[in-house]
Each structure stands twice: as C-alpha cells, then as structure tokens.
Chains A and B, each alone.
Chain A
Amino acid sequence: MAKQEPILKAEDLSKRYEDGVLAVDHLNLDVHPGEVYCLLGANGAGKTTTVNLFLNFIPPTTGTCFIKEIDVTKDPLEAKKYVSFVSENVMLYGNFTARQNLDFFAKLGGKLELSKEDYHQVMRRVSLQERAFEQRVKNFSKGMRQKLGISIAIIKDAPAILLDEPTAGLDPKAAAEFLEILNELKDEGKAILMSTHDIFRAKEIADRVGIMKEGRLVMERTREELQYEDLVKIYIDYMRAEPLTV
C-alpha cells in the first residue's frame, strides 16, 4: 500500500474530565486513506471519548486531532467537512421517513442538489428494504436504523468516516452486512476509524487494530501481524493484566 498522508491523526491526545477521570491518555494514532482502523477496548477504555475528541464534541486536555491536516480544535467546521459520523444506536428523527432523514443530513453535509433517485440508490446500496424508504423511522428496527445511519455517512462522501460502536446490538446477519458496506467504502479509499468492543468483527475488517485500556493505546497490530498472532488471546491477556507500567 502506497504510503499516503494520514487523513485522521491524533497527536499526544489526552482528555481529563472535570471529575478527574483520565479518559484518554497521550494517545497517538493515524488512519490513512483506504484503511480501516479499529479501536478495541472494554467499556470505559476511552474509545468513544477519542471519537468525540475527533468531532470536537469535547475539547482535548492536551494534544491535537487532525482531520486532513486540519486542527480540529482550531477550525472544527472546516475539519468536519471531511468526516462522516455513524453513532452507536442512533434513533434519528422518528417522525420523518428514511428519505427525509437522509435528505436532511445530506443537505447538512453540503450535498444540496440530490434527487430522490440518488437517495434511493444509496439506501439500496446499504440494502435497506425498498418499502422502508418512505416509512417513518420511528418503526425501524435497530439494524434498519443503522443502515440508514451508514447511508447518511455514504451520501456525505467525506474522505474520513468515524464510527462509534456501529455494530452494537445488531444481529450477526445485520452486522455482517454492515461490515460488507464498510469494506466497500474502504476500497473506495475512505479512511475509517471505528471504535468497537467486538473483537471478531474487528479482526475480520481491520487493517490495523489498536487496543485501548484506561485511556492508553496499549497495543497496535497490523492485519499482516495478526496473521501470525491470535488477536483474541492478545486482547484477553491485556485485559487481564494489572495496570500497566510502560
């Protein structure tokens, strides 16, 4: 793989909350175009905080997030041009149909001139059932909502995609379909950062895997390296280990 400039980059990133909890501890990571980076970790390891930091939902205590070399803290709006976001278990606007939701977010993403057919195409691509296109999202299942969530990300067509526990609560089939779409996006050259605690899915899709524990990135492995190591074993070892002294 040709080494390109990373699209998503965290430098010395830390976040200490008001209650004193150090959620992210001097984190460094980068995600390149056409790469899926999975952040693995238990609940409270700092994965979601990392994603929130990238989106400037919270200010970092130290360090910087870059999206396409734009400092997220300095120019968040410009940075957000280049990133799409799929959140965990999003409910969307219940009173609106799938297409209306898509339309709304597409416009927010700067895509102003899309036709109904464009929306349908995207929804077909994520294999949302045809009859659900014009139905209110209120009655959607989790899987359907998540598909709609990823189609919102697709339609924005940003070079980076942030996903926060996207497969949480999905049944195996829905999760598999979801990862299928992610693979396609990766092939299109998107830089994808996904936080998850689903180690099997991570292994399936990730080009690189980072394991977070207590805010620190304690291990990073590439796909190639994982061919020789058992990710599950590594993960469990790290989780068991006493507080690390690196």
Chain B
Amino acid sequence: MLGTIIKREMLEYLKSSKFLIGLSITVILITISTIINIQDFKLRQQDYLDAQKELGGDTFRVSIFRSPQVLSTLVQGKDRKLGNSLTMTYLNIPSRTAGYMGEYTSKHHRYMAGFAAVDFAFVVRVVLSLMVIFLAYNAISEEKFHGTLKLVLANRMPRDQLLLGKFAGGLIIVVGSLIISAILSLLIMLFNPAISLGNSEWIRILMLLGVSALYLICFYTLSLFVSVVVSRPAIALLVLLQIWILLIVIYPNLGVIMAENIYRLPSEQEIAQSKAAAFQPYQEEFKKIREAFIVAVERGEWVPEDVDLRNMELSSKKAELNHQVDKEFSNQLTQQMKLAQTISILSPAVVYDQVANRYARTGMNEYERFMNGIFRHWQKGLEMKELRYKDIQAWRKAELPEFSYQSETTANSFVATLLQWVILFLFSLIFFALAYVGFLRKDVR
C-alpha cells in the first residue's frame, strides 16, 4: 500500500514539467560551474607547484605559497578569495596572506566583487532548495483541490501512511536529483587528470552529500508542512517563497550586518598602541642595541657577536609580540564571524554553508590552521638562526624543514559539525512533525 503511494508520488514528480525544468537548470549550472572551477583550480595548482620550485627562500626571507584545496571545485568557500602567498623574516610574522601583488585579497576578487561564486554548494543551496519548494508546495493542497484526497482516504489507507508515502516518494526524487548533480560533478572531476581525489576526499564528498541531502529535506518537510496547512496551492507557494527569500537572502545578510554593528573591533590605531605597549619593557634596550649595531655598520666593522645576537633576539621578540597582538585581533575577527553565524543559526542556508566549507576545507578553519602553521614555521626558522650563535657547526648542517601544516582530519571535521547536523535534523523533524499533526487533523472535505 505504502509502495503504491510512493510510486505514484514519484511518477507524479517525474512527469511534472517543473521537475524537468529544475533538473535541467541544475545540470547546466553544475556542468558549467564544475568545468570552470576545475580550470581555476588547475591554474592555482600550477601556481602553487611553480611557487614551490621557485619561491624557496634564503637565510633572511622565507616565502610560502598556500596550496589550493582540491574540493574548492565543489565548494569554493573562501579558498580563492583570500590571498595565497606570504613572506616572513625574523623581523616580521605576517598576519594574513597576501594576493601576489601586495593586496590582501587577490586582485581577481577585487574586480569581481559584485559576483558570488557558483559551485556545487551554490546549486544545492539556492537552485535545488527552490526546486524542492516548487515540487512540494502543492503536495497535499493539490490533491484536496482535485478531490483525489477524498478518494484516496475513502480506502483502507491510514492518513499517516499516506503522508509517509508522499514524504518518501518526494524524498527519493529530491535526493535523486541531488545525487544526479553530484555524480555529474564528480564525473567531470574524474575525467580531469589535474584532479586526484584521495580516500579522505571521497569521505568528505560523501559527508558533503549527506549534509546537502539533509539541507534539502529541511526545505522539503517545510514545503510539506505549508502544503498541509495552506489549502490553496498558489497561496502555499507564496508563503514558501517568502520564507525562502527570508532564509536564504535576507536573514543571513542581516546576521552579518548585525554582527558588524554589535561586535566592536579595535581600530588600527588601537592595535598599533597595544603593539607598542607590549614591546615597551624592551624598548630601551632595543634602542641601545640598534644604536650600537648601526654604529658598527657605519664604521664598516664587524658587528660584535653579542650585539648581533641581542639585536636579533629583540627584533624577533618584537615580531612575536606584534604577532600576539595580531593574533588577538584575529581572534576578535573570528568572534565577530561566530556572532554572525550564531545570529543566523536559524537559517538552514547559513548552517549548510558552514558545514560545506568545513568539509571542503575552504573555510576559515583551514585558513587559521595554515596561519598557525606559519607561526610554527617562523619559530623553527628563529631556532635555526639562534643555533648559529650557539653551535655554528650544527647550524651549517641544519636545514630549515619544508613548510607544512596539519589540516583538520576528516573525523574531526565531522565531529566539529555535529551541532549543525543536529540543527538541520531538528528543522526537518519539527517541520515533519508539524506536517504530520496538521495532516492528521486536517479536514479533508
């Protein structure tokens, strides 16, 4: 019996023109965006490889190029917007990556400021969620309008089974379209030699698919609920659309705007002041050492070793203290971002975005890890420099290890996003429960 309902429901969807139109738009967008995003990834990957070969560094300056994330082909996140290179010396620990030509963001991004990224996550978040609404807005109301609801319920068919059947039928279609889009994306990726996916990437893709499905189910259950409560299909669509635009366009943006206005960030002056204050205890000594250093240089003499060492120690101390202030500031930026996320936690789109970025390693979390790696690398460089004064033999043999940093493990990514899964799941559950209760009490006349 349930099977009959499910089958009919699926057929109904498959036959509808809205499904066909939605699916074709999805397929076209997915194809175009994946191809272009792969092309973009290849370009950045090539840059990274070239940079690995050429940037290197010398005893003074170390340049590092951030490697692009392979899953940015599916979820761009911030991967290409943030700059990708930085140069550090013992005098300076950069607080942000730079675009190659000196600005903090890549130039590309500056010119293209008005446009949003189009990728798999965008298609799911915007296009598929809308398709789900279009599919399900009249799931119940249409049947009532056409009188078939009475006919169906005149049979030995419990209401809850009917709703379950409709839910399951629609679910298969919704998840099916998602899987079609994903397979298409993955096929394009697999046929591209530049893309190689490891085991952990596959697991991440599966997790991404899972959360995408859950996200769409949220909208599906919501639509079902509205369709139960609102009896005129056009009105149901009207209501759903207003909810959609609120959840996807207005509310997330308001969250950001509110966070920007509520959470105060220190000004550049304040940062400079705290930097100066932090270095204050050493300032006097540093001045003296600098003078001695400069005197020696100007006389054309060798700088005395103790002056040289102390100069380096103090300079690097300054760099480290500055870094601490920068880090504090960076934490405040993170706090502001978190506040924006908390404010808009009721928007499935925001929650979904967070999870997708985390899984694709294109979010802020990955970037922070990279920057932490940079600091550790800087410390190692400093140790090496100090070694020169302690044990010159060892220093001659020593070599600065290659830069590396620890990405978040897949398991940790999953654990970190559990809350988001629960939120999305709760949304679905609540909407489904409401639809369920509403339908059981619904007047079918």
Contacts and interface: CB of A to CB of B under 8 A. Distances in A.
B141 to A, nearest CB: 13
Contacts of A28: none
B15 A108 contact: no
A57 B153 contact: yes
B155 A93 contact: no
A55 B154 contact: yes
B28 interface: no
B294 to A, nearest CB: 87
A74 interface: no
B12 interface: yes
A58 interface: yes
B155 A87 contact: no
B15 A83 contact: no
Nearest to A55: B154
B151 interface: yes
A58 B445 contact: yes
A108 B155 contact: yes
B154 A83 contact: yes
B12 A96 contact: yes
B151 A152 contact: yes
B444 interface: yes
Interface in B157-206: 157-158
A105 B152 CA distance: 7
Interface string A147-163: 00100100010000010
Contacts of B156: 77-78, 80-81, 108-110
Given A93-B12, A93-B148, A156 B445 contact: no
Contacts of A93: 8, 12, 146, 148
A89 B154 contact: no
B233 to A, nearest CB: 13
Contact of A95 (B15, B153, B158, B445): B15
Contacts of A96: 8, 11-12, 15
B155 A156 contact: yes
A91 B151 CA distance: 10
Contacts of B150: 55, 57, 85, 87, 90
Given A90-B146, A92-B148, A93-B12, A52 B155 contact: no
B58 interface: no
Interface string B404-445: 000000000000000000000000000000000000000111
A52 B148 contact: no
Contacts of A156: 155
Contacts of A91: 145-148
Interface string A44-88: 000010001001011000000000000000000110110111011
Contacts, number: 79
A169 interface: no
Name the interface size band of chain B.
20 to 34
B24 interface: no
A143 to B, nearest CB: 16
Interface centre among A55, A108, A110 (most CB of B within 10 A): A108
B151 A95 contact: no
Contacts of B153: 55, 57
A238 interface: no
A235 interface: no
Contacts of B12: 93, 95-96
Nearest to B16: A95
Contacts of A58: 443, 445
A81 B156 CA distance: 5
A104 interface: yes
Nearest to A101: B148
A57 B444 contact: yes
A101 B5 CA distance: 12
Nearest to A77: B156
Nearest to B443: A58
Interface string B372-413: 000000000000000000000000000000000000000000
Contacts of A223: none
A110 B4 CA distance: 10
Contact of B147 (A52, A57, A87, A100): A87
Interface string A12-56: 000000000000000000000000000000000000100010010
A223 to B, nearest CB: 27
Contacts of A105: 151-152, 155
A95 B4 CA distance: 16
B333 to A, nearest CB: 53
Interface in A81-126: 81, 83-85, 87-96, 100, 104-105, 107-110
A152 B148 CA distance: 12
B1 interface: yes
B148 A108 contact: no
Given A52-B445, A57-B445, A108-B1, A89 B155 contact: no
Interface of A: 48, 52, 55, 57-58, 77-78, 80-81, 83-85, 87-96, 100, 104-105, 107-110, 149, 152, 156, 162
The 10 A-B residue pairs with the shortest CB-CB distance in the complex, in nearest-first order: A85-B154, A91-B146, A90-B147, A107-B4, A108-B155, A95-B15, A80-B156, A77-B156, A81-B156, A104-B8
26 contacts: A55-B154, A57-B153, A57-B443, A57-B445, A58-B445, A78-B156, A80-B156, A81-B156, A87-B147, A88-B147, A91-B146, A92-B146, A92-B148, A93-B146, A93-B148, A96-B8, A96-B15, A104-B4, A104-B8, A105-B152, A108-B1, A108-B4, A108-B155, A108-B156, A108-B157, A152-B151
